Structure 1
Amino acid sequence: MQSWDEIVDVVVVGAGAAGVCAALSAQHHGAKVLVLERSAKLGGTSAVSGGGVWIPNNHHMGEIGSSDSREQALTYLHSLSLGGMDMELAEVFVDEAPGVLRFVEDETSLSFSAIRRPDYQPEKPGGTFGRSVTAELFPTAGLGDLRPHLRQAPCIPIPVCWEDIERGLDMLDPVVIGDRMAKGLVGLGMALMAGLIKGALDKGVVFRRNARARRLMIENDAVVGLEYESEGQTHRIGARRGVILASGGFEWSEGLVKDHVAGPIEAPLSPPFNEGDGLIMAMEVHAAIANTNEAVWMPSICIPGEEYEGRQLYRLTGSERSNPRSIMVNRAGQRFVNEAHNYNDVGRVMHNFDAMTFDYPNLPAWIIVDQSYMDSYPFATRFPGDPIPSWIETADSLRELAGKIGVDPDGLEAAVERYNAHVEQRCDPDFGRGSSRYDLAYGDQSREGALQTLGPIERGPFHACRVYSGVLSTKGGPKINAKSEVMNVRGGAIDGLYAAGNVSGGFTGMAYPGAGGNLGPGLVFGHIAGRNAAAVGNRF
């Protein structure tokens, strides 16, 4: 018989979307739940995200003129599988997702709306728009003493939501933003997490910060609790019904990345606490592992001196790649991808391998823009009219710019000349830029057709910014079944152990189906884990 410092019904490891939804679900189904969060802040990677949640066949799609079905959603997922997707779990996800969204709306104060942005491969069979939903602005006053401990998004900390973005709100409007801040409103991922946390608090879930789970405790072949560290002390907590791992990925662990991930990670964009704690604990109890070679890739930029939680901050790229008058090139000065397409698949192409040179020819890469771009569009933290910052290289000619960044000058000049000639024809026969609904949705909406993302690079001075191989998160870990139970290496379920979110083996394989492609499965399998853990009788 184990000895415990305290006993609860269910222990959840991690206070991101998957973990808090699991806690909310378990508490709703009659369990007493404690959430352990390693860091001082609640919200995890979810809080610093855009807050989109990919929910096929959701009940908000009709509000924006879209529709969906089980068959259409599964057709789309199957089209992205390439043999690597767990289609059994895909079916569970599609079947459960609409009800989980309604559950979250019923059990919290969150309100969601569907966004008009398309799936990330919208031309694939079954692709559509409106599957991604996002939370509306949320007031944080209800968090009480936990309000200062909600994780802040480092790149978009202001209170805006996707509806603002779609209707073109001036996000620098001091009156609008100031009024929202005075009311304690938050947006995007922070809104999602504030609403989930408040909902869990209202149901009686207990949160404990600065509590790092370290080791699972086994008795009679079942997980019955865990050890965690807090303020230099080790504590043992019993879990009568189960432990749910939801502690995020392992992108900040150099050792685990080297051992598992296919392709270099130069720039993690998540909070720097995602070091694989849950993966390690699961492996210690002989969990089967799935999909650890995969990540959600994001071409990223670095502004020297910017830090988050004491580590270098990396910023995602979006409009920098999709607006007209920008391209990405490699060391040879050549384009290598449709720059305007979704970040996961653009980021994957950065890892293309050259068998003859035994090298990654697309690393490093650079975004190249001209002065017309700089006069018209923001570039990361730099806005039109601002001085060109030191982290952007500038030159009067493309040849001179190539010399500054170490790129083949002949290759760069030829690539730009070829690209400009194609822009005149309003097409990109090399990489198809502007041919997908995705490309157009993220380009300049004031322009027409392919020119929403295509534009010549012709007016000096010219500018370049280094692009890094970044990730939003890894997406592999302990393998789970339809009940979110963690599987052992022999194919059976580990009694008392569940997992959800980025800590678990992502069922989508290499694919990232749409905005919120991590958050959607995280909420759904978190809900499933909480429901099933709560249904188990007390083990002691």
Structure 2
Amino acid sequence: MEGISRRSFLKGVGVVGATAAMGAGLAACSPAAEPSTGGSDAVETASGIGVVVDAASTEEADIVVVGSGIGGFMASMIAKEQAPGATVVMLEKNAKLGGSTNYAECNGPATNVDEAEARLKGLDAAAKTGYIANSILHAERMREQGDNADWLFAKHGVGWYRAGVVFYEGGNGSSCISTLTPIAKEEGVDIRTEARATALLTDDEYTVTGVQYENAEGDVVHIAAKAVILATGGMSTNKNLLGQYSSQDMDKIIGWGEGQDGDGHLLAEQTAHGRANHLTVDSLFNNVGNGTDSLAYDSPLGVSAAMQYSNCFVNEYGIRFCDESGGGALGTAESGKLVESQGYVFSIMDSANIAAYEAGGCERHYSGFADACVGATLDLQSELAQYEGVDYIFKADTLEELGKAIAAKADTFAVEDFLAEIAAYNGYADAGADAAYGKDAKYVWKIEQGPFYAFQICSGMLNTSGGIRINRDAQVTDARGKAIDGLYAAGVCTSGWDGEVYGGGTCQTVGMWAGSRAARHAVEHKLGGTVADDWMGTERSQDSSEAQGPQGGDSAQGGEAALGDL
């Protein structure tokens, strides 16, 4: 038996920067000391979040936006467009702008949904989450989805294309950020990178008066502001902190992203909002890894071994436990939860399977990088060589030797049961019918030609959704809906969108809607200005009938969840 490679996921294609690698270590997650005002015991003080300290300098602004993903950009730009004389500052903790939008798909053009239909669709969206989601928030998002799409795709020229699902131009949202950045600068948005917001400034637990941040030189700056908009992303790069809010076993999850450390959640906890509430682990696709190390997030080997309907999965007992295709319609989010439900999951392949994927056997469109693999010739052998030696890929000349290698890692693994499962699976391939779970015969590939491979599978968490309660104007509220004056939130840091499984249409579109709504409300109610009726522009985006997902937003989840719909 041979193993196959020790590489961190950070090695892959420069996808995640060193800042993200450090994200999980930014928080010691020890119980909090006293927060500046109000707050909960979960406020993290080890990294200085939620603690107001003396400032090296102070300044004033009208609106401060924390975060530079789609929610942050739309909030900053719409505020500046509707109040040209206002001082709008956008703070980004990383050196690079864009946050998780850099890895996102998009919703594409859309049309507004009328009030009555939006309420019904919002209720349906909530029902699909077991009523964890807020039907009214979904309705509000759908009522304005066309306006927000027009602002992004028509007024500001952000590109997109369709290939199975809808993607930003180039396959991810980095093209969106590169399009918006020069426009925002020209409009006069004051963009500051390496500027980590560390505390809110408050008069009391219901009144926010500004924000504290640390600049690239390490100096603390206080900005007095009429409104602060938190667009800080999720917690996927801080699994230590996330473990305090989620019931999910973090060891079964690979966390990706950049700077998604839960900062905004902890800032909101300074106020009467209290403890961040329901967080969904957005397991948007599976990959090969052990929960700490993994293949690169856009690895063709990961696409082939972890996310194809033709995969064969066995668990910690050596037993196949599902139809890996979900009846040919398993969304990527459901794929992740399927993996998380087991102690271990191993994808079993033989050399013929490897060759089939190399010859163009990948079929699933679920991300920009996966889309590039569909029907394409792949070089998996180089990855197998690159990752030689890792403890999550196994290779053996016989199935029995492969089973023994797996059992050396998972002591519950029964080699005899495993051999019986693979024999039965091969029988299903011969018979043209999966008698165990009913998977379509075209996805049942025989496993009989050595050498044989086993790939440990983890769910891939590109983000989390939820945490900060907001109302219909994207104002942060307490548990009973009372608004925190001067504080707004946008994007995946906000709650009300998902249940335990990421539902689609709840990341990019939420950032778009909440960032837009927060800016417009702040301009009118905090700056005393007026928002133009044509704030979204006079041009309409196209292809609206096709680009809307099942909740009236992002790429359709039917068989293919939106990977980076973040």
The TM tier, using the shorter chain, reads 0.7 to 0.9
Distance 1:280 1:116, change over 3 A: same
> For the residues of structure 2 that align with 1:402 and 1:327, how far apart are their CA atoms?
14
Query: For 1:38, what is the secondary structure of its paired residue?
Result: coil
2:458 is equivalent to residue 458 of structure 1? no
Are the aligned partners of 2:159 and 2:176 in contact in 1 as well (CA < 8 Å)? no
Cα offset for 1:473?
A: 1.2
Cα offset for 1:431?
A: 4.2
> For the residues of structure 2 that align with 1:203 and 1:424, how far apart are their CA atoms?
65
Cα offset for 1:484?
A: 0.7
> For the residues of structure 2 that align with 1:291 and 1:432, how far apart are their CA atoms?
39
Question: 1:421 maps to what in 2?
Answer: 427
Distance 1:376 1:211, change over 3 A: same
Distance 1:305 1:283, change over 3 A: closer
Are the aligned partners of 1:214 and 1:227 in contact in 2 as well (CA < 8 Å)? yes
Question: 2:286 maps to what in 1?
Answer: 299
Cα offset for 1:80?
A: 2.1
Are the aligned partners of 2:475 and 2:489 in contact in 1 as well (CA < 8 Å)? yes
Cα offset for 1:377?
A: 1.5
Instruction: Give the AA of the match of 1:216.
Output: L
Are the aligned partners of 1:111 and 1:136 in contact in 2 as well (CA < 8 Å)? yes
Cα offset for 1:269?
A: 3.4
Of 333, 337, 340, which aligns to 1:344?
333
Cα offset for 1:222?
A: 2.0
Are the aligned partners of 2:273 and 2:469 in contact in 1 as well (CA < 8 Å)? yes
Are the aligned partners of 1:269 and 1:314 in contact in 2 as well (CA < 8 Å)? no
2:199 is equivalent to residue 215 of structure 1? yes
Instruction: Give the AA of the match of 2:186.
Output: D
Question: 1:158 maps to what in 2?
Answer: none
Are the aligned partners of 1:325 and 1:455 in contact in 2 as well (CA < 8 Å)? yes
Structure 2, unmatched stretches of 5+, are 1-53, 363-369, 408-412, 529-566
Question: 1:369 maps to what in 2?
Answer: 349
Provide the identity percentage: 27
> For the residues of structure 2 that align with 1:113 and 1:59, how far apart are their CA atoms?
17
> For the residues of structure 2 that align with 1:305 and 1:219, how far apart are their CA atoms?
42
Are the aligned partners of 2:213 and 2:220 in contact in 1 as well (CA < 8 Å)? yes
Cα offset for 1:245?
A: 0.5
Cα offset for 1:206?
A: 1.9
Structure 1, unmatched stretches of 5+, are 61-68, 118-132, 138-160, 162-187, 353-361, 435-449
> For the residues of structure 2 that align with 1:306 and 1:350, how far apart are their CA atoms?
17
Are the aligned partners of 1:301 and 1:314 in contact in 2 as well (CA < 8 Å)? no
Query: For 1:509, what is the secondary structure of its paired residue?
Result: coil
Question: 1:195 maps to what in 2?
Answer: 179
Question: 1:329 maps to what in 2?
Answer: 314
> For the residues of structure 1 that align with 2:494 and 2:209, how far apart are their CA atoms?
20
Cα offset for 1:324?
A: 6.0
Instruction: Give the AA of the match of 1:332.
Output: Y
2:169 is equivalent to residue 136 of structure 1? yes
Question: 1:103 maps to what in 2?
Answer: 151
Distance 1:346 1:323, change over 3 A: closer
> For the residues of structure 2 that align with 1:429 and 1:251, how far apart are their CA atoms?
38
With normalisation by structure 2, the TM-score equals 0.69
1:274-326 Cα distance to aligned partner (Å, 9 max, x none) = 2211111100112155653421014332499989xxxx965675443343652
Structure 1 moving runs of 4+ over 6 Å: 303-307, 379-382
Of 251, 261, 274, which aligns to 2:236?
251
In the alignment of these two chains, the number of paired residues is 432
> For the residues of structure 2 that align with 1:285 and 1:324, how far apart are their CA atoms?
46
Cα offset for 1:488?
A: 1.4
Question: 2:82 maps to what in 1?
Answer: 29
Instruction: Give the AA of the match of 1:101.
Output: A
1:418-455 Cα distance to aligned partner (Å, 9 max, x none) = 33333445454544545xxxxxxxxxxxxxxx62x332
Are the aligned partners of 2:340 and 2:458 in contact in 1 as well (CA < 8 Å)? no
Question: 1:486 maps to what in 2?
Answer: 476
1:353-390 Cα distance to aligned partner (Å, 9 max, x none) = xxxxxxxxx22222211111211225999724547321
When structure 1 is superposed on structure 2, of 89-98 and 269-278 the one drifting more is: 269-278
Query: For 2:287, what is the secondary structure of its paired residue?
Result: strand
2:91 is equivalent to residue 58 of structure 1? no
Distance 1:116 1:347, change over 3 A: closer
Distance 1:79 1:490, change over 3 A: closer
With normalisation by structure 1, the TM-score equals 0.72
Query: For 2:144, what is the secondary structure of its paired residue?
Result: helix
Distance 1:99 1:393, change over 3 A: same
